[in-house]
Chain A
Amino acid sequence: MTMENMVDVLVIGGGNAALCAALTAREAGASVLLLEAAPRAWRGGNSIHTRNLRCMHDAPQDVLTEAYPEEEFWQDLLKVTGGKTNETLARKVIVDSSRCRDWMRGHGVHFQPSLSGTLHLSRTNAFFMGGGKALVNAYYRSAQQLGIQVRYETPVHRLVLEGGRFVAAHTNCGERIAARACVVANGGFESDREWVREAWGQNAAGEWPADNFLVRGTRFNMGVVLKDLMAQGVDTIGDPTQAHMVAIDARAPLYDGGICTRVDCVSLGIMVNKNAQRFYDEGEDFWPKRYAIWGRLVAQQPGQIGYSITDAKAVGRFMPPVFEGCKAGSLPELARQLGLDEAGLMETVSQYNAACRVGHFDHAVLDDCHTEGLAPAKTHWALPIDTAPFYGYALRPGITFTYLGTRVDEDARMQFGGQPSANLFAAGEVMAGNVLGQGYTAGVGMTIGTVFGRIAGAESAKAAMKVVA
């Protein structure tokens, strides 16, 4: 490829952050080539499974109620990350989240009020009409209209760097693509089961826990470019053993189970492991605040499996799950269906039932129904499991995303030995760890992807123009 027809900005990745970068760079006048590893039908990475982004706002806006000021957003982020965040970058994300939606609308994204069952997010999160795949489709349409070149089924396996400066990318089919600047926005490494297995290692019982993990999102986040960058000395952030993990239905597909495989009845019943023993307080806090700890809790149990047990009283009180649960007229029968020890389950349930101190049940507040003298306790919504039919769901850890990524500065530049690169940028999941070192709060991944996608797009266009000048 000669200098004349060399593309200004090469975007590696095809999800939300990559598209935001590509569109912004194109709007700044750069020529843009976007390489998506997936075929068209699977384009968009984990973004197709998302549904909203968290937005700061000082007054009610179209689909957002009340106000969500900068300071509150920052405190929320501080709390969920336990301080593992970069305040400068985080505040940049927060402030830009208040003004990025008009730009999104300009590219065809529509918003809708929070979905049924998600009223708790109506103040903080703007929902995409139709979800993340509709957003991704809108961005691809806009990209086409703006003349951005898009190539599907084009994974990149190696970058050519010179002193921290991007020169070219090698695709899996052996093509070398040079560009004046590059944005890496191709996600984490959660789809690479070998890497995750290695990161998690063996537990005391000799099990490889990660063998029993499912991946909630795309099969294309193999982390190949991340691994290559690490080998070339990029500064990283985050711990490879850390991943956002949710307990999802054990029958979910290995990849792309998405939102619908979650099971929301944990706080309405008890959770036992394969030995029919309880292992954590199911009623510690509201489910939306706790669902994300259960992936890890289940991962720490033998066989990496848990069983949520409820009775008839829970029916209709939680979001309907995608797969029918096991249903039985008696607890021993349920134990048989789930493959649990009958006597063990009966013992656990009768101890729990005897310990329940039932007051006024109210699933909408932290109510006064709790256990006494039981370890671990169930501190809210503790009702005896005594009304047939009984239901059981087997749950496994499902990885949403990994936290390990590349360190970036305010301009989304990657760094090598503390030195920012002149023309290599990162956006989205591959750098989200800068802002979200651990934990999670709904919609923040899309906010980081959108804001840093736009920053990377603008800065990469600038860097490319500088080369031309």
Chain B
Amino acid sequence: MSTDSLNRLIAQAEAEVARQMQVCNACRYCEGYCAVFPAMARRLEFPSADTHYLANLCHNCGACLHACQYAPPHEFAINVPQAMARLRVQTYAHFAWPHRLGALYSRNGLWLALALAWSLALFLVLALALKGSLWHGLLAGDFYAIFPHNLLVALFAPIFVFVVFALAMGVSRFWREIAPAGDPLAAPHAGEAWREATANALTLQYLGGGHGEGCSNSDDAPTPWRRRFHHVTAYGFLLCFASTCVATLYHYAIGWHAPYALTSLPVLLGIVGGAGLLVGPVGLLWLNIIRDPAQGDAQQKPMDRGFIALLLLTGVTGMALLALRDSLAMGVLLAVHLGVVMALFLTLPYGKFAHGVYRCAALLNWAIEKRQPSRLRLSDA
């Protein structure tokens, strides 16, 4: 997509959020649902940066859509979750680093598929090249007999560093625009604000629907399941990551080398995390399929589902590998699992994963901003 057409799309999405926020700001009934509306109420106008801030503060819980007296078929056509979702994907594209790769968001399904195919092929071919066959004798779970440890480090470490760097570059540019006051550590009451933002992110406060009963999904009824499945997925992912970190520590700091026993910390973390990556994504996928099509942006379903599917594949292949690591299929399973994990990492900075990073920044900005006096002098009289 050309820069011009990308900019036009961003401008359209920003203008729609600004238009809707002006209606909402004159109504304010949804103030109790989440942080978007109190943040809106501190403003009279919605320039570009503010629209991106509010869009990323929105968790697409859908409560305000169902409660809205101005939702379609009303001529005001207010659908905040949808307008915010459409802008969010532009946020990711606009702030992506390097900028050119932002275009990957607009055809994310294709990008995910290509990354996955390439990564799978890479590891299968590597296995063939290194061992001459995908089948081998019993190796008692020794992964390094297939792919030497140093080779894996050489393949994954640069990607991991790149992912962290790319996301950090994106979110820091985002931060500079939405928080012109700048340094989040120097803000008044910064400690409290960081604590609150962290708690809001870790508990998914704003998927609670304001009353804690959960968010809307297929209809106007609140359901706690999206929040729960998201927790299971996110914490499952973090446990798997922790498993890798502990194993790295064992390898380098203590000199304990894989394979690790079933009762060892890396394996236990991996089992629990892997189970999370089985259950969580299945639940999220189910909720995504039955979600009211008016809630959110239907065009982003490939990106949402692609990311969920990759997480699920990571869980499935990881658990299969663990279950069959002593069998003849270990080599194939390992190659497939590593291919999936590599695809997951390659796509992290240019896919749905970005939502977590930008949302945390928006939550932090809100936690800082709400502790500052309003610039408005709205009297109650």
Contacts and interface: CB of A to CB of B under 8 A. Distances in A.
Interface of A: 41-42, 48-49, 51, 110, 112-113, 115-120, 127-134, 137, 141, 253, 256, 258-262, 267, 286-288, 315-322, 324, 363-365
Contacts of A364: 379-381
Nearest to A268: B379
Contact of A319 (B23, B70, B378): B378
Interface of B: 22-23, 25-33, 38, 41, 44, 63-64, 66-70, 72-76, 210-211, 213, 220-221, 375-381
Given A133-B69, A258-B70, A116 B378 contact: yes
Nearest to B73: A41
A128 B66 CA distance: 14
A119 B380 contact: yes
A48, A118, A267, A286 interface centre (most CB from chain B within 10 Å): A48
Given A112-B210, A320-B44, A130 B377 contact: no
In the A-B complex, list the 9 residue pairs whose CB atoms are closest, starting with the nearest: A131-B29, A130-B67, A112-B32, A260-B26, A363-B379, A134-B67, A322-B26, A286-B381, A260-B27
B29, B66, B76 interface centre (most CB from chain A within 10 Å): B29
A256 B69 contact: yes
Contacts of A41: 72-73
Given A116-B41, A137-B220, A141-B220, A320 B31 contact: no
Contact of A115 (B28, B44, B63): B28
A110 B214 CA distance: 13
Contact of B30 (A120, A130, A288): A130
Given A317-B378, A322-B22, A258 B32 contact: no
Contact of A259 (B22, B26, B221, B380): B26
A131 B67 contact: yes
A118 B380 contact: yes
Contact of A49 (B38, B64, B69, B379): B69
B373 to A, nearest CB: 13
Nearest to B376: A316
Given A130-B32, A319-B26, A322-B22, A137 B66 contact: yes
A91 B266 CA distance: 69
Contacts of A317: 377-379
B377 A134 contact: no
Given A110-B210, A256-B74, A260-B26, A133 B44 contact: no
A132 B380 contact: no
Given A118-B380, A364-B380, A316 B26 contact: no
Given A116-B38, A117-B41, 6 more contacts: A115-B28, A131-B27, A131-B69, A288-B381, A316-B44, A322-B26
A51 B381 contact: no
Contacts of B213: 110
Nearest to B72: A41
Nearest to B375: A316
A258 B69 contact: yes
A319 B376 CA distance: 10
Contacts of B76: 253
B33 A130 contact: yes
A322 B210 contact: no
Nearest to A315: B44
A120 B380 contact: yes
B29 A141 contact: no
Contacts of A365: 381
A393 to B, nearest CB: 12
A258 B27 contact: yes
B5 to A, nearest CB: 29
B62 to A, nearest CB: 11
Contact of A320 (B26, B29, B381): B26
A115 B380 contact: no
28 contacts: A115-B28, A115-B29, A116-B28, A117-B28, A117-B41, A117-B378, A117-B380, A127-B32, A130-B33, A131-B30, A131-B69, A132-B29, A133-B67, A256-B69, A260-B23, A262-B26, A286-B381, A287-B381, A316-B44, A317-B377, A318-B379, A320-B26, A322-B22, A322-B23, A324-B22, A363-B381, A364-B380, A364-B381
A117 B221 CA distance: 29
B28, B44, B210 interface centre (most CB from chain A within 10 Å): B28
B38, B75, B375 interface centre (most CB from chain A within 10 Å): B75
B216 to A, nearest CB: 9
Contacts of A49: 69
A51 B29 CA distance: 7
Contact of A129 (B44, B210, B380, B381): B210
B296 to A, nearest CB: 18
A323 to B, nearest CB: 8
A110 B27 contact: no
A320 B22 contact: yes
Nearest to A127: B32
A42 B44 contact: no
Contacts of B31: 112, 115-116
